[in-house]
Structure 1
Amino acid sequence: MHDQPLAPADFESIEDILLKYGDDHSVLNLAELDGYFAALVSSPAQVDVAEWFPAIWGGQNPDWESADEAKQFIDLCVRHMNAIATQLAVNAQGFKARFEETEHQNQPLTLAEEWCFGYIRGAAVGNWPQLPAEQAEQLEKISWCAEQDNFELPADLDVGLHQQRVSAIEPAARALHDYWLAKR
């Protein structure tokens, strides 16, 4: 039950709950939650639900409409996190981040800012220690994108450079997962 991948309707439920209870201090969308979970399952040590769940909400759990609503959301989160963990452990090359997509100057454009911001949030909750230079460089590929503001893309955006940087994020996440997995 807790290792079944989510269906599209499950992802919609997660997104609805994030919108319903989210604020400026919480995870706001599925892309950010996906990055958050990718970092948590890649952490040097397992992070307890009592730590990672309130951090989704900026440290304070929502005033749930019902216990069933809270349970359903937690169950969906655990299933999604387990699916990411399994993917990274069993077939890391097949790992795909849930980046957002948009169009810029009539061209498709991948936006990774929210995913990367979630990843950095997850690394902080996972209490990652200082990394060796090689792994710090991998984390920098992710944190660089987390600092970008994709709400208003500049007209002169270098789309090629942007896509090149975005394409480095998934390999960086895989490398960081492999590094910490070898240390556990």
Structure 2
Amino acid sequence: MREIAEQLGITKAALYYHFESKDAIVTSLFDGLLRALDELLDAAAGQPPSAQRSSDLLGGWLALTAGQALPVIRFAAANQTVLRTALSTGREGATQRFERATQLMLRPDASLSDRLRVRTALLAGHVTVLAARGTDAEDADILTSALSAAASLTAGLFPAPMLPDVTGHT
């Protein structure tokens, strides 16, 4: 908890005021990420199936997992024991969202090979964060590499994923 407080620039007492343990911090961080993934999946489910929907969903997923949630993923990678404890609480978790994303991106009759390619592309953000450990890669490098890996994996299935335009500009 001391290290976390130092990284946040607050006192340990202030951190304990809001969170009773590292587990509580991780749970809170991942709950936020899971809510954001739910919103992304719900938005995709509200659109008719198309190659563009698949591309947009993958781009949004990577923007969350290798972009916005990069500090959460880094924290989890550095605290594996705490992460396992936090994720073993029995709540519906990332696995269900992962499966739902795959189903939204592919036709029901998609081949096993295509399903595995999409699943691997969904993991590109996490894997790139782990691969970047011990390098001088900056956040933008990690996100760019994750997008490139995902595009390679899904080539021929749908257009290359791009980051969502959060500014409202086209």
Give the structure-2-normalised TM-score.
Answer: 0.34
More helix per residue: 2
More strand per residue: 1
Give the structure-1-normalised TM-score.
Answer: 0.32
